[in-house]
Amino acid sequence: MTTIDNNNQSKSTAGSAGKPAIFSETVTDRLTTIIPETRAQATKPRPFIDTHVHLMKTSLYSWFNPSKPPTFEGPWDPLFTMGDFTNEQLAQETNGTPIELKGAVHIQANADDPIEEIETVEAMGKRATWPIMIVGGGDLSDPGIESLVEREASFADVRGVRQNLNMHPHPLYNYVDKSYMDDPQWLKGLALLKKYDMSFDMQLYPTQFERAGEVMDANPETLFIIDHAGMWADRDLAGWQLWSKGLRKLAQRSNCVIKISALASLDHRWTLESIKPIVYTILDAFGTDRVMFGSNFPVDKLHGTYGDIIHGFARCVETLSEAEQDALFVGNAKRLYRF
């Protein structure tokens, strides 16, 4: 069982004029190692397609309010204060950094009306200077789900569907109270995705990996994209072994790829050294052609700046070839989300 550190909370400080308050105090040594960072490392341009971001008009989400139950991400008060998170705000997050946004993938955030969410994000895409692909929402266990999936697939920029599957005995980590992957009706809904050339963003915990593998095997024509690095939630030796061994088994399937994202949500005081083992384990299991990076903004804004998080990923893989780095940050996203 994961031990919850009730003192592991983000702190807010005053922001600059006209901008939201900074969500977390700057940890100046977050990205340092024994060997100090050079200027070349700090300023190297990083083209980037952000494969996991929530572009939110918050009025579309009835759950987005201060009565939202607490979760492992920590208090959401700064996010409620900030409100909407648009393509313009995402672009502003790169100011003063060497990050060059080349595109983004909006991941559904359980809107009351999934179609209105898609329409809202497509409108942002028309304003943005870079393309935005969309992963829509919906309950695949709904007997009438095909009509929704068909409508979502009719939008030019929709590429797939996500439905949270996370079940955990600790209430802070539990997203749903139903084992969807064991529901025959949900499995029927999932099987529809291949008909509409839709991928499935799969958000779950390591305790669910074994069943997820069976589901992938039953749907060989569907691309499954593991979200948030497989969400290593139980931070003890048994939890690490379950996560790492389970990922290696999932990686044996050609229709399974993975996103490295939300590391800060599960490690509020993260450092470059604390995320390296996660990044290295995933790359060792999946290779450099089936891994992507995502910011999980604005959620991970609670525990770090956009520049620090993406630069942290870049530092983890800086010894790879330029071609491999470009694949991880741009090329794989272009191919797998069909930009």
**What CATH number does residue 200 fall under?**
3.20.20.140
Which ranges constitute the DSSP H helices of 175-294? 184-191, 209-218, 237-250, 272-286
Query: What is the average per-residue pLDDT within 147-153?
Result: 98
Mean pLDDT within 307-311:
97
Residue 7 lies in a domain: no
Provide the strand spans (E) within the chain. Answer: 46-53, 99-107, 132-136, 158-162, 199-202, 224-226, 256-260, 291-293
Amino acid at 196: Y
Domain encompassing residue 78: 39-336
Q: Is residue 51 part of a domain?
A: yes
pTM attached to this predicted model: 0.92
Whether 225 is covered by a domain: the verdict is yes
pLDDT band at 32 (very low <50, low <70, confident <90, very high): confident
Give SS3 for 135.
strand
Distance, in Å, from the CA atom of 173 to the CA atom of 191, rounded to the nearest integer, reads 27
Considering its fold, how many domains does the chain have in total? 1
**Do the beta carbons of residue 317 and residue 282 sit within 8 Å?**
no
Give the model's pLDDT for residue 201: 98
